[in-house]
Structure 1
Amino acid sequence: MLRLGGGLGMAGLLGGALTGCGTGRAAEPVTSGTVDLSFWTHDQVYYDFFAAAAEHAEAAGSRFHWRLHLTQASAQDVVTKSIAQAIAGRGTPDVAGLEIGSFTRLLRGDLAAELLEDLTEDVAEVRDDLLPMRTAPYTKDGRLYALDSDAPLCVFYYRKPEYARLGISPDFASWEEVLDVGERLYEREGVSLGAVAVGSELGQVVQVYEMLTMQRGGRFFDEDGELSIETPEAEQALDVLVRGVQSGCFGTVSDFYGPAMQTALKTGKVISVPMATWYKVYGLRNNVPEQEGEWRIRSLPVFPDGGARTSFTGGTGFAALRGKENTLAGVELIKAGFLTPQEQVRRYVEMGYLPTRRSVFDDPSLSDIEDDYCGGQRMFQVYREVIDEAPVYYLSADRPVLDTVLSGYVLRAYHGDLSPREALGRAADDFRGQTRS
Structure 2
Amino acid sequence: MTPPPPSGLSRRRLLGLGGGLGAAGLLGGALSGCTTAADAEPVTSGSVDLSFWTHDDAYVEYFRTAAENAMAAGDAPFRWRLDPTRAGATDIVTKAIAQAIAGGGTPDVAGLEIGAFPRMLRGDLATELLQPLNDAVADVRDDLLTVRTAPFSKDGTLYALDSDAPLVVYYYREPSFGEAGLPDDLGTWEELAEAGAEAHRRHDVCIGAVTVGSELGQVVQSFDMLLMQRGGALFDEDGNLTIDSAEGEAALTFMARGVQEGWIATVADPMGPSMQAALKSGQVIGLWMATWYKIYGLVPNVPEQSGQWRIRPLPAFRDGGSRTSFTGGTGFAAFRGKENTLAAVELIKAGYLTPEEQVRRFLDLGYLPTRRSVYDNEELLRTEDEYCGGQRMFEIYRGIIDEAPVFSLSADKPVLDTVLSGHLLRAYRGDQSPREALRRATEDFHGQTRSSRS
TM surpasses 0.5 = yes
Which residue of the partner structure matches residue 214 of structure 2?
Answer: 200
2:83 is aligned with 1:83: no
Cα shift at 1:167? 2.0
Does the 8 Å contact 2:307/2:387 carry over to 1?
Answer: yes
Cα shift at 1:187? 1.4
2:69 is aligned with 1:50: no
Letter in 1 for 2:18: G
2:416 is aligned with 1:397: no
The change in CA–CA distance for 1:70 and 1:22 in structure 2 (over 3 A counts) is: farther
Does the 8 Å contact 1:3/1:80 carry over to 2?
Answer: no
Letter in 1 for 2:177: Y
The change in CA–CA distance for 1:341 and 1:4 in structure 2 (over 3 A counts) is: farther
Work out the CA distance in 2 between the residues paired with 1:86 and 1:377. Answer: 47
4+ runs deviating over 4 angstroms:
2-5
Q: 2:236 aligns with which of 199, 222, 226?
A: 222
Work out the CA distance in 1 between the residues paired with 2:121 and 2:289. Answer: 26
Per-residue CA shift, 1:274-326, capped at 9, x if unaligned? 10000000000011111111100000000001110000000000000101000
Does the 8 Å contact 2:37/2:103 carry over to 1?
Answer: no
Does the 8 Å contact 2:42/2:342 carry over to 1?
Answer: yes
Q: 1:307 aligns with which of 311, 321, 324?
A: 321
Letter in 1 for 2:294: K
Which residue of the partner structure matches residue 385 of structure 1?
Answer: 399
Does the 8 Å contact 1:4/1:105 carry over to 2?
Answer: no
Q: Counterpart of 1:224 in 2: which secondary structure?
A: coil
Q: Percent identity?
A: 66
Work out the CA distance in 2 between the residues paired with 1:45 and 1:197. Answer: 26
Cα shift at 1:6? 2.2
2:44 is aligned with 1:31: yes
Does the 8 Å contact 1:5/1:105 carry over to 2?
Answer: no
Work out the CA distance in 1 between the residues paired with 2:368 and 2:60. Answer: 17
Does the 8 Å contact 2:150/2:407 carry over to 1?
Answer: yes
Q: 1:41 aligns with which of 54, 57, 64?
A: 54
Q: 1:424 aligns with which of 438, 441, 447?
A: 438
Work out the CA distance in 1 between the residues paired with 2:328 and 2:17. Answer: 19
Letter in 2 for 1:96: A
2:142 is aligned with 1:128: yes
Work out the CA distance in 1 between the residues paired with 2:260 and 2:277. Answer: 21
Cα shift at 1:3? 13
2:204 is aligned with 1:185: no
Work out the CA distance in 2 between the residues paired with 1:53 and 1:196. Answer: 37
State how 1:150-161 maps to structure 2 within 5 Å: 150-161=164-175
Which residue of the partner structure matches residue 7 of structure 1?
Answer: 19
Structure 1 unmatched ranges of 5 or more: 11-16
Structure 1 length as normaliser, TM-score?
A: 0.95
Letter in 2 for 1:6: G
The change in CA–CA distance for 1:369 and 1:22 in structure 2 (over 3 A counts) is: farther
Q: Counterpart of 2:298 in 1: which secondary structure?
A: helix
Which residue of the partner structure matches residue 179 of structure 2?
Answer: 165
Q: Counterpart of 2:242 in 1: which secondary structure?
A: coil
Which residue of the partner structure matches residue 72 of structure 2?
Answer: 59
Q: How well do the aligned residues superpose, as a CA RMSD in angstroms? A: 1.8
Letter in 1 for 2:57: Q
Per-residue CA shift, 1:394-418, capped at 9, x if unaligned? 1000000001000000000000011
Does the 8 Å contact 2:210/2:265 carry over to 1?
Answer: yes
Work out the CA distance in 2 between the residues paired with 1:247 and 1:172. Answer: 20
Range with greater deviation from structure 2 (65-74 or 21-30): 21-30
Work out the CA distance in 2 between the residues paired with 1:274 and 1:425. Answer: 25
Cα shift at 1:7? 3.4
Does the 8 Å contact 1:215/1:310 carry over to 2?
Answer: yes
Per-residue CA shift, 1:158-204, capped at 9, x if unaligned? 00111112222111211111211111111112111111111101011
Q: 2:385 aligns with which of 364, 371, 394?
A: 371
Which residue of the partner structure matches residue 350 of structure 1?
Answer: 364
Cα shift at 1:369? 0.2
The change in CA–CA distance for 1:301 and 1:338 in structure 2 (over 3 A counts) is: same
The change in CA–CA distance for 1:165 and 1:143 in structure 2 (over 3 A counts) is: same
Per-residue CA shift, 1:221-244, capped at 9, x if unaligned? 001111011110111011110011
Work out the CA distance in 1 between the residues paired with 2:271 and 2:378. Answer: 33
Which residue of the partner structure matches residue 132 of structure 2?
Answer: 118
Per-residue CA shift, 1:2-23, capped at 9, x if unaligned? 999823699xxxxxx99xx964
Work out the CA distance in 1 between the residues paired with 2:16 and 2:185. Answer: 44
Work out the CA distance in 2 between the residues paired with 1:23 and 1:157. Answer: 51
State how 1:200-279 maps to structure 2 within 5 Å: 200-279=214-293
Structure 2 length as normaliser, TM-score?
A: 0.92
The change in CA–CA distance for 1:3 and 1:242 in structure 2 (over 3 A counts) is: farther
**Aligned length in residues:** 428
Letter in 2 for 1:340: T
Letter in 1 for 2:194: D
Letter in 2 for 1:47: V
Letter in 2 for 1:249: W
2:423 is aligned with 1:409: yes
Q: Counterpart of 1:67 in 2: which secondary structure?
A: strand
Work out the CA distance in 1 between the residues paired with 2:35 and 2:273. Answer: 44
Work out the CA distance in 1 between the residues paired with 2:79 and 2:443. Answer: 53
The change in CA–CA distance for 1:94 and 1:32 in structure 2 (over 3 A counts) is: same
Q: Counterpart of 1:273 in 2: which secondary structure?
A: strand
Per-residue CA shift, 1:88-108, capped at 9, x if unaligned? 112211000000010000000
Q: Counterpart of 1:325 in 2: which secondary structure?
A: coil
Does the 8 Å contact 2:172/2:286 carry over to 1?
Answer: yes
Work out the CA distance in 1 between the residues paired with 2:414 and 2:116. Answer: 9
Which residue of the partner structure matches residue 113 of structure 2?
Answer: 99
Work out the CA distance in 2 between the residues paired with 1:423 and 1:3. Answer: 35
Work out the CA distance in 1 between the residues paired with 2:300 and 2:111. Answer: 22
Structure 2 unmatched ranges of 5 or more: 1-13, 23-29
Work out the CA distance in 2 between the residues paired with 1:348 and 1:421. Answer: 40
Q: Counterpart of 2:431 in 1: which secondary structure?
A: coil
Work out the CA distance in 1 between the residues paired with 2:202 and 2:288. Answer: 22
